[in-house]
């Protein structure tokens, strides 16, 4: 049996030579992929085809559901075809009609794939270009029978064709196709701690991708397990929004012998089609920075109506970026630890593991109490986050931004309990080894001193790729749970803080100048005329007119209480609370020499009144007492400040609102001292000398 899948893929892709000129390069995959699928399916069905045709003659008068059940049984597969035709029997005339009839004769689950490929339109275009017969003949001569190419290698062939398709149409590839090196890294990280488990006989496990794209993560997961244990059964599940990507993914799963009904079409966030399912392994590369406004109502309703019984109980991020919604969706699909597995295995549930690729925004966007912070809080306080790996920039087809791989588990090993590992695989690093906290061995520095290499040819925005050695180094560092120059380990509480509100007293001094008094009166006139244009302004005056007029040009008053006593002495000028506030607005100024303003009534009567303009917030590390932090960091600078103790956290009732952020770059920041002034002066002297020489040449 041949393992040379790349040569098979290259031969199939060589059909592009026939298409060149009549079709754009970006269209090649839309022709080659469905024809490859068609040829593989007819080769797989070849042995049972006579039995299926015989059964079809017997059951063709029955209803569709009964037909499907009996024909599937006859085919001994999850799909079938009731046509006597194949690619070798299309004839030389009426090829398009014969081919359409042949495809229409597949079982509904296989036929749907061709419909989403828009295959019938492709047939028409090939016919118009007079290429249909030639293309069909080329595929008909390719032996894709399972005895020549088994399911595993056929999957690799199809993946190679998908990769070539993505490269040939890279202007949109990044939306539906994750680069192979990133897929390999993420898959290896998710599976690496389960290597011993995955080698057990009779193993049945499930893998899920809610943003399946063309199925790269699902294929890579199955490939990884196949390398460890070719007897293991890994059931693939997924959902995809884009119809063409869905068709490619479903075709890939069909080729690999998977149950294609497990792959769903639709929006995962608003229409989860695997609502009750739980999975062992989950991998996802959701779209970066895409808003969820179109499905906002459904998600808001689920959040309010179901809370933690639904997927989004922890909170909702801002509408402009739905990345964290996918993370919460995946967490909701985790299997609880313990109890019997529902996959048909006698093994007990060992929980679930997640690998998800996110941009930098979910690390820090949103302050304490925001949706993003509350989601991070839920993840960290429930001890779900194992590690975050920073990737280099320029790793994806459609963006050059910084990206991060998050690894989560609801069944952490003992040494990881309450810990989070950060691995910086984005930049150059020193050649050093490191030793794990529990003596878990060493990882030596990479000879190349970087985790990536520049690609010989850029693909869209992708200019860098991870080397095999770097992937091995990252996975080893993660697996051994070690600290070194590019790996750090933290308590989860290191990322938490309490946002306290710091108040300072309102101290008002009142200076009634002529200009301010005129502005005060003018403001009153404008407001009065706005309410009633016919009002006679001359017959009415603003509140406190007489007293303010008498104070105009006099010395400052440093007590609000004393000021309003002046008005109280004139019984005709009794002021309402709103009028007092307006007078403070026009004539009062914060002055540290003034008397502190005191609440005259209400629940805070007798207490100092805060100045909203001086209000500030402080983020107190979660591991530190608020009072200790306040005494050390605030009071030495503003001795009259106090903490607003009414601002408490909803969950624990303590002073200060709890927030979490993951400032990845800050943890790996290395201070670079500025150059010595002597060196800068020397450079300037050199440049000045060069300029003078050039000027002399111009003048000579």
228: buried, middle or exposed (CB in 10 Å: 19+, 13-18, 0-12)?
middle
Work out whether strand 482-483 and strand 435-436 pair parallel, antiparallel, or are unpaired. antiparallel
Question: Residue 348: inside a domain, yes or no?
Answer: no
To which H or E segment does residue 388 belong?
Answer: strand 385-390
Q: Which residues pair with 655 in a beta bridge?
A: 648
Question: Residue 63: inside a domain, yes or no?
Answer: yes
Q: Give the whole-angstrom CA distance, residue 253 versus residue 263.
A: 8
Looking at the chain, the whole-number percentage of residues with pLDDT higher than 70 is 92
- Closest CA relative to residue 256, chosen from 162, 156, 151: 151
User: Do residues 199 and 228 touch, judged by C-beta distance below 8 A?
Assistant: yes
Q: Give the whole-angstrom CA distance, residue 163 versus residue 159.
A: 6
| Residue where one domain finishes, among candidates 575, 590, 605 | 590
Question: Residue 529: inside a domain, yes or no?
Answer: yes
**pLDDT, tens digit, 9 for 90 and up, residues 157-177:** 887 888 788 777 654 444 556
Count of residues making up the chain: 700
Q: Which residues pair with 590 in a beta bridge?
A: 508
Count of C-beta atoms within a 10 Å radius of residue 373: 24
**pLDDT, tens digit, 9 for 90 and up, residues 266-289:** 999 999 999 999 999 999 999 888
Q: Which residues pair with 509 in a beta bridge?
A: 589
Q: Number of helices and strands (H, E) in the chain?
A: 27, 19
The residues near 620 (Cβ < 8 Å, ≥ 6 apart) are: 497, 498, 499, 500, 626, 629, 630, 656
Does 430 have pLDDT greater than 60? no
Q: Given this model, what pLDDT does residue 160 score?
A: 81
3 state DSSP class of 457: strand
| Residue where one domain finishes, among candidates 150, 168, 186 | 168
Question: Residue 162: inside a domain, yes or no?
Answer: yes
| Residue where one domain finishes, among candidates 549, 564, 590 | 590
Q: Give the whole-angstrom CA distance, residue 401 versus residue 391.
A: 10
User: Do residues 608 and 597 touch, judged by C-beta distance below 8 A?
Assistant: yes
Mean pLDDT throughout 246-264?
86
**pLDDT, tens digit, 9 for 90 and up, residues 578-637:** 999 999 999 999 999 999 999 988 888 999 999 999 999 999 999 999 999 999 999 999
Q: Which domain holds residue 147?
A: 1-168
Question: Residue 240: inside a domain, yes or no?
Answer: no
Question: Residue 405: inside a domain, yes or no?
Answer: no
In the chain, the largest separation of any two C-alpha atoms, in whole Å, equals 112
Q: Given this model, what pLDDT does residue 223 score?
A: 84
180: buried, middle or exposed (CB in 10 Å: 19+, 13-18, 0-12)?
middle
Q: How many domains, in total, are found in the chain?
A: 2
Residue 114: half-sphere exposure toward Cβ, Cα within 13 Å: 25
Question: Residue 540: inside a domain, yes or no?
Answer: yes
User: Do residues 606 and 500 touch, judged by C-beta distance below 8 A?
Assistant: no
436 pLDDT band (50/70/90 cuts)?
Answer: very low
Higher-confidence residue of 700 and 71: namely 71
Does 338 have pLDDT greater than 90? no
Question: Residue 211: inside a domain, yes or no?
Answer: no
Count of C-beta atoms within a 10 Å radius of residue 390: 23
């Amino acid at each position: 049996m041949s393992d040379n899948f790349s040569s098979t893929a290259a031969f199939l892709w060589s059909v592009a030579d026939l298409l060149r000129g009549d079709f754009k390069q970006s269209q090649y995959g839309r022709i080659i992929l469905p024809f490859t699928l068609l040829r593989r399916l007819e080769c797989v069905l070849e042995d049972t085809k006579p039995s299926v045709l015989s059964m079809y003659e017997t059951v063709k008068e029955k209803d569709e559901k009964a037909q499907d059940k009996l024909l599937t049984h006859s085919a001994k597969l999850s799909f079938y075809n009731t046509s006597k035709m194949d690619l070798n029997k299309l004839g030389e005339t009426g090829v398009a009609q014969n081919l359409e009839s042949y495809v229409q004769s597949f079982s509904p689950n296989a036929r749907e794939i061709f419909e989403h490929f828009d295959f019938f339109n492709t047939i028409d275009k090939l016919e118009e270009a007079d290429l249909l017969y030639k293309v069909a003949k080329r595929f008909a001569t390719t032996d894709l029978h399972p005895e020549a190419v088994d399911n595993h290698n056929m999957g690799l062939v199809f993946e190679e064709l998908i990769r070539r398709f993505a490269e040939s149409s890279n202007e949109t590839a990044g939306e539906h196709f994750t680069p192979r090196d990133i897929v390999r890294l993420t898959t290896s990280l998710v599976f690496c701690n389960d290597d011993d488990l995955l080698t057990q006989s009779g193993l049945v496990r499930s893998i899920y991708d809610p943003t399946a794209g063309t199925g790269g993560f699902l294929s890579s997961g199955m490939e990884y397990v196949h390398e460890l244990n070719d007897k293991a059964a890994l059931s693939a599940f997924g959902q995809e929004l884009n119809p063409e990507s869905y068709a490619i993914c479903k075709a890939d799963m069909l080729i690999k012998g998977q149950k294609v009904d497990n792959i769903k079409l639709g929006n995962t966030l608003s229409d989860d089609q695997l609502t009750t399912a739980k999975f062992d392994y989950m991998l996802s590369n959701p779209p970066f920075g895409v808003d969820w406004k179109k499905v906002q109502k459904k998600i808001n309703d689920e959040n309010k109506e179901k809370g933690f019984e639904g997927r989004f109980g922890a909170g909702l991020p801002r509408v402009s970026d739905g990345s964290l919604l996918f993370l919460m969706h995946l967490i909701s699909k985790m299997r609880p630890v313990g109890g019997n597995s529902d996959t048909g295995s006698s093994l007990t549930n060992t929980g679930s593991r997640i690998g998800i690729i996110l941009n930098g925004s979910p690390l820090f966007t949103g302050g304490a109490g925001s949706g993003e912070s509350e989601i991070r809080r839920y993840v960290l306080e429930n001890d779900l986050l194992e590690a975050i790996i920073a990737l280099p920039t320029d790793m994806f087809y459609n963006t050059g931004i910084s990206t991060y791989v998050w690894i989560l588990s609801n069944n952490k090993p003992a040494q990881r309990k309450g810990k989070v590992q950060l691995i910086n695989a984005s930049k150059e690093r020193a050649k050093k080894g490191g030793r794990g906290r529990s003596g878990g061995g060493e990882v030596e520095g990479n000879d190349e001193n970087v985790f990536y290499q520049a690609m010989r040819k850029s693909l869209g925005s992708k200019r860098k790729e991870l080397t095999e050695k770097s992937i091995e180094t990252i996975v080893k560092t993660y697996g051994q749970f070690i600290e070194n120059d590019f790996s750090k380990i933290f308590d989860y509480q290191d990322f938490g803080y309490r946002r306290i509100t710091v108040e300072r007293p309102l101290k008002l001094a009142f200076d009634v100048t002529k200009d301010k008094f005129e502005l005060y009166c003018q403001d009153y006139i404008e407001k009065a005329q706005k309410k009633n244009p016919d009002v006679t302004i001359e017959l009415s005056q603003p509140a406190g007119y007489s007293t303010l007029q008498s104070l105009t040009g006099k010395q400052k008053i440093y007590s609000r209480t004393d000021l309003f006593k002046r008005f109280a002495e004139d019984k005709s000028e009794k002021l309402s609370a709103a009028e007092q506030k307006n007078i403070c607005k026009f004539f009062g100024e914060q002055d540290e020499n003034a008397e502190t303003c005191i609440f005259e009534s209400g629940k805070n009567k007798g207490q100092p009144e805060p100045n909203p303009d001086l209000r500030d917030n402080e983020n107190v590390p979660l591991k530190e007492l608020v009072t200790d932090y306040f005494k050390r960091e605030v009071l030495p600078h503003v001795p009259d400040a106090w903490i607003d103790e009414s601002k408490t956290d909803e969950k624990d009732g303590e002073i200060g609102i709890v927030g979490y952020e993951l400032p990845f770059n800050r943890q790996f920041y290395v201070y670079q001292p500025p150059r010595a002034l002597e060196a800068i002066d020397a450079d300037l002297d050199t440049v000045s000398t060069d300029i003078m020489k050039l000027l002399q040449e111009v003048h000579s």
